[in-house]
Amino acid sequence: MRKLLSCLLSFSLVACVVDSALARGLFISPGAEANGFGGAFVAVADDATAIYWNPAGLAKQGSSAMISATNISATATSSVAPAYASTQNKTNALLPFIAGMYKTKCDVTVAAGIYAAGGGATAFNDLYSFNVNAQQTIMIYNVSAAKEVCKGLKVGLGIDMVNMSNVADEVNVPVPGVGTIGEIKSQAAGYGYQFNGGVLYDFSDQVTGGFAIKSGTNIKLNTNVSSTISAPSNYTQNYSYPLSCSIGAAYKPIKKLMVAASIEGTQYSTTQDVNTGDSWKDMTQYHIGGEYQLNDNWAVRLGFQNDPAELSPSSTMPLLSTYQYNLYSYAAGASYKNGNWKASVSLAYSYSSPCVINGANYLYILWPMRADVGYRF
């Protein structure tokens, strides 16, 4: 019975650790330009990252290609040592994006892209020799198309194959009421399909509105768990990749200045059936940003966005479970355009409000940095 209890609790811990290795939803969105706007990009969507933000934005672009990378350095800290005696956990992630588009003779723009929609790796070590090495990756393979169906109205549709993989290796796993047990290794992989669509409408030469939606999907994760105290286990786990939608507007009060704002909702509550004991909740994000054209070559951007917690602060391992932090992010960015080439960079400072668990204050700080290079044919 003790061994069975240890296995059950350990497998639950594996799921928690691997799931927590994911970089937060706020920090997985691609594109330096978009994130320089603070993510207020649904009504702008004027580069290849439109396949993520709003596929309708493809209709106002010609043939082009773009590569981008997002680098994230994150640290969770505790004011006092928790039960597992470590006060810090660091996570790092490098998330790529590559896409290209082609405008056909019938004025339909078709695009294809591959990008990481989430991921991260953590190496956690405490004073009692509990060691965790975990990694999670979510890759998106996208095909999209868009067209201006009438003056000022653009419509876009796309389909994503969402590929998810988790890997975790834990040594000297602590189990409440049992003590520490041996090594546990787990691997999981699966995929699903989601649809996305969007519209852009030019109310005037100065005002544009945008709306985008992603259907979400169900991913069947084929999971293998091995342990030094039990026989290997294979099972299938259903992971609900959440539905999300966003609406926003962009306004140009003068030729050189654009301001944009958007609201984004994500239905995280559908994931609670695959996270035992956790109560996930829907999330609403607010984005605001602006861009100023210094001259024909240079543009600068500032932006702000929030990222509310998807979980209540009740985790037994808060340094590893980053979903329970309320986050705020300030971003700055710039672009340089020369002929058909355009390069963009952005840097954000993201921090959490204090999360109090068992008398300790937990904080989460991230530095997402993004860089793009694009070429228009």
pLDDT for 82 equals 52
8-state DSSP, 353: -
Find the helix or strand (DSSP H, E) in which 235 lies.
Answer: strand 230-241
3-state secondary structure at position 215: coil
Per-residue pLDDT, 366: 86
Contact between 331 and 314 under an 8 Å Cβ cutoff? The reply is no
pLDDT at 158 over 80: yes
Per-residue pLDDT band at 315 (split at 50, 70, 90): low
Res 191 pLDDT > 60: yes
- Of the listed ranges 1-5, 98-102, 274-278, 346-350, the least confidently predicted one is 1-5
Supply the range of the domain harboring residue 256.
Answer: 2-376
Give 55-86 pLDDT, tens digit per residue.
999 999 988 999 998 888 777 777 665 554 55
| pTM score | 0.85
d(CA 249, CA 45) in angstroms, rounded, equals 11
8 pLDDT above the threshold of 80: no
DSSP conformation letters of 296-352: SSEEEEEEEEEE--SB-S--S-TTT-GGG--EEEEEEEEEEEETTEEEEEEEEEEEE
Quote the number of domains for the chain.
1
Position 129 confidence tier, pLDDT thresholds 50, 70, 90: low
CATH of the domain at 194: 2.40.160.60
What pLDDT is attached to residue 342?
95
pLDDT at 275: 43
Q: What angle do CA 347, 352, 358 make, to 5 degrees?
A: 155
pLDDT of residue 137: 83
Give the pLDDT of residue 321: 66
More confident position, 88 or 296: 296
pLDDT at residue number 72: 81
8-state DSSP, 130: -
Q: What is the DSSP letter of 280?
A: B
Look over the chain and give the mean of its residue pLDDT values, rounded to a whole number.
82
For residue 262, give the nearest of 289, 283, 297, 237 by alpha carbon: 289
Give the confidence band of 343 by pLDDT, cuts at 50, 70, 90: very high
